[in-house]
Structure 1
Amino acid sequence: MKPAIFLDRDGTINYDAGYTYKLEDLKIYDDIIPILKKYYDSGYIIIVISNQSGINRGYFTVNDMKKFNDGIKRIFMEHGIVISDFYFCPHKPEENCECRKPKTGMVEQAVKKYGIDLKNSIVIGDRDDIDGELARNLGIKFIKVHGYSAP
């Protein structure tokens, strides 16, 4: 079993333009590549987990999101980092689903699919109130990047 980096997308990998889905808006944070390269080269698998309520709000489609994710995947591959999978929650907060972070549904799916060593895995994200809470719900380490603060 390998540990994983459970990686938030918008605000962590890429700048968040607000319901970001257009490839022309894809701008990767300069610091995230070396952070992930270190973990990837140490044997961690990289899993992106992202709340994408813009889908259920009608702002963009699943296909639009997948094209954006493919752009991220290509950039990471250029730096020798393979993203094993992308998990997303299309639901709005008021839908109260089990997959929306900080609930653990997406991580549980990934653990089951990939046989992940959860106790040695890490959540990396920009929001303590969502990504940090996810890590606490899982009982694993959280690394906060880019200094987002909840209003």
Structure 2
Amino acid sequence: MNQAVFLDRDGVINEVLTDRVKFVNTPEEFYLLAGAGEGVRLLQDAGYKIFVVTNQGGIGLGFMDEKMLHNVHDHMKEQLQFFDAHIDEIAYCPHKPHENCPCRKPKPQMIHDLARKWDIDLRKSYMIGDREPDIIAGREAGTKTILVGTRDKEKVKADLVFEDLLEAAKHLTNSLS
């Protein structure tokens, strides 16, 4: 079985709720966070499968459509290529918040679906997120959990806490670079 790192997108890989961008609905609003590309590369070089699991309620709310979301994700993949980093697969929930769908985090369906498809051992895998729904989804899926950033730092109980994705990746790969 494979080991994986499941990454939330907004706030882990790219900026959200910053001076430059509130939400990412177009490729032009996508800004890779410092260290994110290097972090993904470290994890992939260590043998982890890398997945993005992201709630994209903007589709259900009508702020964007699935074609635009795919354009945003293509842009993200292009940005990561500058660091020789890649994502194995992206899963997203297009439903509105509070629609009670089975795929929206904090429910773990996206993680479970990817684990079945890619033969992932969830007990040896990690969910990295910047908010409580990410950590709950990882915990309920059976992964170890890592909180990055400061958005929900005081109220979320993750297994590990780091400043950003790069610091988490260095810890998981024991890299000092």
- Shorter-chain TM-score bucket reads over 0.9
Contact 2:23 2:29 in 1 (8 A): no
Contact 1:19 1:59 in 2 (8 A): no
Q: How many residues align?
A: 150
Backbone CA RMSD of aligned residues: 1.6
Alignment partners' CA distance in 2, 1:59 and 1:70? 18
Contact 1:19 1:52 in 2 (8 A): no
Alignment partners' CA distance in 1, 2:64 and 2:107? 23
Stretch moving more, 78-87 or 40-49: 78-87
Q: String of CA shifts for 1:81-130, please: whole Å, max 9, x gaps.
A: 12111100011222101100010111111111111121111111111x11
Task: Tell me the TM-score normalised to structure 1 length.
Answer: 0.92
1:36-47 correspondence runs (5 A): 36-47=40-51
Alignment partners' CA distance in 2, 1:35 and 1:144? 14
Alignment partners' CA distance in 2, 1:149 and 1:36? 22
1:22-61 correspondence runs (5 A): 22-61=26-65
Decide which of 123, 130, 140 is 2:127's aligned counterpart: 123
Structure 1 stretches lacking a partner, 5+ long:
none
Structure 2 stretches lacking a partner, 5+ long:
156-177
Alignment partners' CA distance in 1, 2:53 and 2:116? 15
Q: String of CA shifts for 1:37-69, please: whole Å, max 9, x gaps.
A: 221111001110000010010100000000000
Percent of aligned pairs sharing the same letter: 35
Contact 1:55 1:91 in 2 (8 A): yes
Residue 70 of structure 1 deviates from its aligned partner by 0.4
1:2-151 correspondence runs (5 A): 2-16=2-16, 17-127=21-131, 129-149=132-152
Select the structure with the greater relative contact order (CA < 8 A; seq sep ≥ 6).
1
Alignment partners' CA distance in 1, 2:35 and 2:149? 9
Alignment partners' CA distance in 1, 2:72 and 2:152? 25
Alignment partners' CA distance in 2, 1:62 and 1:73? 16
Whichever residue aligns with residue 150 of structure 2, its letter is G
Aligned to 2:163: none
Contact 1:14 1:27 in 2 (8 A): yes
SS in 2 for 1:95: coil
Task: Tell me the TM-score normalised to structure 2 length.
Answer: 0.79
Alignment partners' CA distance in 2, 1:30 and 1:43? 22
